[in-house]
Amino acid sequence: VAERTTTHVEHLTTSDRLAHWLVAAGLLDTAPTATAADLAAAVHLREALYAVLRATSDGRPLPADALARVHAAAAGPAVVLTLDAAGGLHRGGDVAAALSAVARAAIELVGGPDRHLLRWCADAACTHPFLDRARGGRRRWCGMSGCGDRAKARAYRARHR
């Protein structure tokens, strides 16, 4: 979801888009066959992860229903890792395996030493989380290409009016 707090632009609109996102995100090497049920599971997991990450960054207790959904997804099958003859790494599996990998990564983040680095983009239209590994711990945007660039351009225009 882009612009969650304003226009709420949904990007996972079809099972094909989900399958292609799993490859683009580096979870799988080839797009799996995805169903409408897989799409629904992915969206439900995404919303549960949003609730868990938001609670974590706000210092609130983790919501039990969202946590249960994340745990259920994490208990799914694992992505199958293989090596080819040249030592190249390959990731295979179905949608459930890829979603399980996402849920496990979130559990490791929230339960690990980097949880205090979790921040939310300062762009009002963006709701992307990121880990602030900047030396001073004062990063404001999820990325400079996009949100950071837009903010700097707005500030520049405001100064030169």
Q: Give whole-number Cα distances, 147 to 27, 93, 104, 126, 142, in Å.
A: 25, 33, 28, 8, 7
| Amino acid residing at 132 | D
Please report which confidence band the pLDDT of residue 147 belongs to, taking 50, 70 and 90 as the band edges: confident
The tens digit of pLDDT for each residue in 65-95 reads 999 999 999 999 999 999 999 999 999 999 9
Q: Between these two residues, 16 and 152, which has the higher pLDDT value?
A: 16
SS3 per-residue string spanning 9-36: ECCCCCHHHHHHHHHHCCCCCCCCCCCH
- What predicted TM-score, i.e. pTM, was given to this entire model? 0.83
Closest CA to 101 of 109, 126, 156, 64: 109
pLDDT tens sequence across 103-140? 999 999 999 999 988 888 877 777 788 888 888 777 77
Among 113, 91, 117, 89, CA closest to 102 = 91
